[in-house]
Chains A and B, each alone.
Chain A
Amino acid sequence: MLLELTGVSKRFGPVEVLSEVDLSIDAGEVCALVGDNGAGKSTLVKCVAGIHAIDGGSIAVEGEVRDISGPRDAAALGIEIVYQDLALCDNLDIVENLFLGRERRRGIVLDDDSMEQLAAETLDSLAVRTIRNLRQNVASLSGGQRQTVAIAKAVLWNSRLVILDEPTAALGVAQTRQVLELIRRLADQGLAVLYISHNLNDVFAVADRIAALYLGRMAAVLDAADTTQSQVVELITSGRSGSLGLTDTNGART
């Protein structure tokens, strides 16, 4: 397993936002993380990213338990996150955004040409054809193109796990499809992808497995192929569906 969460708990003051969450993701698969507003999806991502320290449980990368205490630690382990609000600079061009904070240099001089070349190769390898001019400012890009840049930024660094928090939330139909296609391609290239979304059609379009969070607890982790949308809806809204899901609760926390 590339990433393995065991019994991860997180509390903000008296509120337990995550309790005993287990989740594992393998290389080459898209795992979707679903759950209602406030279920704790973004919090879980931030724990993996090292933005929040976990209060219990462990996070293992390739079988080794790791203490991730910041975005740099996560990046060093090959974990990249594409946040809900895209972290792009509108006044910089695509290449400049892709390499922000990790610029290539010759001596003290920026090596813009080699960065542009590597950016072009990366976008090529992702079969991105919606972006032609790498030197245009990000401000002039469409929502889908911006999302593409944000994702490309995450895979530029030999990353092994890419986490996307609602990457298609603000996109139209065609651009959503482009991004989903890109997500699928990341997994096909051997990366592990954790994909958070509220849109079950999108989830079923790309995910290999679906993990449903219910009030901070992992209700179930299922193979997408043997699951129906209505089962997932039930898991999201009540934490259980038939024999699946949490057994001890009807919404009340213990």
Chain B
Amino acid sequence: MSENLETLHDASEPADATAAPGAPDPMGAVVAHVRGYLANVRSGEVGALPAVAGIVALCLFFGMAKPVFFSVGNLANLFGQGAAVVCIAMGLVFVLIIGEIDLSAGFASGVCAAIMAVILTDLGLSWPLAIGAALVTGTIIGLTLGALVVKLGIPSFVVTLAAFLAFQGIALIILKEGTNITIHDATVKAIAGGNLERWQGWTLLAITIAGYGAVQVSRWRRRIGRALVHEPLAVVVARIAALAALLSGTVFLLNLERSANPQIISLTGVPVVVVILGVLFTIWSFILHRTRFGRHLYAVGGNREAAVRAGVNVDRVRIAAFVICSGMAAVGGVVAASRAASVDPNTGGSNVLLLSVGAAVIGGASLFGGKGTVRAALLGGAVVAIINNGMGLMGLSAGVRFGVTGAVLLLAAGVDAASRGRGAIFGRH
């Protein structure tokens, strides 16, 4: 019987998206690579595309409506405005990947910021202790939420909705019924307010590009060495060059003078917060894509039963996701407190959570679980920050801004649901 079965192979498989090892025609290999990418997009794997397209469109729109949008000062401003939300969104991505939600991340950041402020101001202790306490608080919050969801089986929606209310109350109590604590500590204020020297910016840029290039090229060479399917060299080089161009341009612009009165006070250099975001991005991306824990996060979000059968410690993975989320909320709280140079009961409140969830989803994380990257938080955070910044420049009221941001979040969730549908329709033949 095996004779006639031999001939029964499915001949209609799609062609490989990437070049075969040692492809003779480099141009053809690049074309094939681009084609493979487009095929992925069509089948619903849109990845970062909507967010990048959104950023470009929004920049053009606001730049034409308000030319000051393109000023160097506003560019630096954007980073400061978006940083806290991006931090919280980075953490939320981990919870979204396992198919859960954390509605309390905003007020968790507020509680952590309040604890930092009290330790700095009321207790008069040093900044490492204060920031450390904020991060430990975030971790404990995450452990508690995670344990309630995982060990007791309460839906994360309910647990974190309850926590949303409770943390609001805790922040009020810590801040003695609503006093505003001003932060005087220079180091804490420098987190969101400080800038690097010009040479520091260029040095970091060189290190970043060299590091990224080395990782990319060594990976490419390793795959050739093992005779595995690999990208054309041109694509690898183009990717490195694109990153180098983008970052160099940013550093160049941020190194220009952006003070309104340069004689009185000079304002130049890459904001410290950009470096912090860059480091967090690198660390969390590494954990998500290059470690066993990251792989297990995706597995738990994709098919929890399969993860259990494969011997993954599902409970531990899920609790860890909540710990990371609340921990990053604490980081976001510290950044927000630093930017405002004060903490009040509304720190982390208002629309912070909505913007953070929106950032993650706009960037490409899925509310259905199984999907999401740290890059999503960064790109989606940029979209959210640009919308708020641009509408502010145009002098639109807070009401309109809330409405538009809500509409954008809905749009992103719609794209998420639609791309899921497309994947289901086109995925299985």
Chain A residues engaging chain B, CB cutoff 8 angstroms: 71-72, 75, 83, 85, 87-92, 96-97, 100-103, 105, 108-110, 113-114, 116-117, 120, 129-135, 137, 139-145, 174, 177-178, 180-181, 184, 205
Contact = CB atoms under 8 A, between A and B. Distances in A.
Contacts of B14: 133
A103 B299 CA distance: 12
13 contacts: A87-B310, A92-B298, A96-B295, A100-B295, A100-B306, A101-B296, A101-B310, A108-B292, A133-B17, A139-B428, A141-B428, A145-B10, A178-B10
Contacts of A91: 298, 301-302, 370-371
B429 A142 contact: yes
Nearest to A87: B306
A88 B307 CA distance: 8
Contact of A87 (B295, B309, B429): B309
Given A89-B303, A108-B291, A140 B9 contact: no
Given A110-B290, A113-B222, A102 B2 contact: no
Nearest to B1: A205
A113 B220 CA distance: 10
A130 B423 CA distance: 21
Given A101-B311, A110-B292, A90 B226 contact: no
Contacts of A180: 5
Contacts of A132: 13, 16
Given A101-B310, A108-B291, A133-B17, A177 B5 contact: yes
A119 to B, nearest CB: 10
B229 interface: yes
Nearest to B227: A117
B279 interface: no
Given A92-B298, A113-B228, A140-B428, A101 B307 contact: yes
Nearest to A86: B306
Contacts of B305: 85, 87
Contacts of A103: 292, 295
User: Which 10 pairs show the lowest CB-CB distances between chains A and B?
Assistant: A101-B310, A89-B302, A91-B302, A87-B306, A91-B370, A101-B311, A100-B310, A181-B5, A89-B303, A140-B427
Nearest to B366: A91
Nearest to B10: A130
A89 B428 contact: no
Nearest to A70: B311
B307 A89 contact: yes
Main secondary structure of the interface of A (DSSP, over half): mixed
Contacts of B9: 129-130, 178
Contacts of B428: 139-143
B8 interface: yes
A100 B307 contact: yes
B311 A139 contact: no
Interface residues of B, number: 43
B239 interface: no
Contacts of B316: none
Given A91-B371, A140-B43, A178-B8, A135 B310 contact: no
Interface in B258-308: 290-292, 295-296, 298-299, 301-303, 305-307
B172 interface: no
Given A100-B307, A100-B310, A178-B5, A105 B301 contact: no
B223 interface: yes
A72 B310 CA distance: 9
A85 B305 CA distance: 10
Nearest to A204: B1
B228 A117 contact: yes
B312 interface: yes
Among A85, A110, A140, A143, residue most surrounded by chain B Cβ atoms (within 10 Å): A140
Contacts of B303: 87-90
Nearest to A173: B8
A137 B43 CA distance: 11
Interface string B197-229: 000000000000000000000000011001011
A72 B308 CA distance: 11
A110 B16 contact: no
Given A92-B299, A100-B312, A178-B8, A105 B292 contact: yes
Contact of B298 (A87, A89, A141, A145): A89
B16 A133 contact: yes
A143 B2 CA distance: 21
B370 A71 contact: no
Given A105-B292, A142-B429, A177 B309 contact: no
Contacts of A140: 43, 423, 427-428
A174 B424 CA distance: 22
Contacts of A101: 296, 307, 310-312
Contacts of A89: 298-299, 302-303, 306-307, 370
Given A90-B370, A133-B17, 11 more contacts: A89-B298, A91-B301, A92-B295, A108-B292, A114-B226, A139-B427, A142-B428, A145-B10, A177-B8, A180-B5, A181-B2
A120 B309 CA distance: 23
Contacts of A88: 303, 306
Contacts of A143: 428
Interface in B310-325: 310-312
A85 B304 CA distance: 13
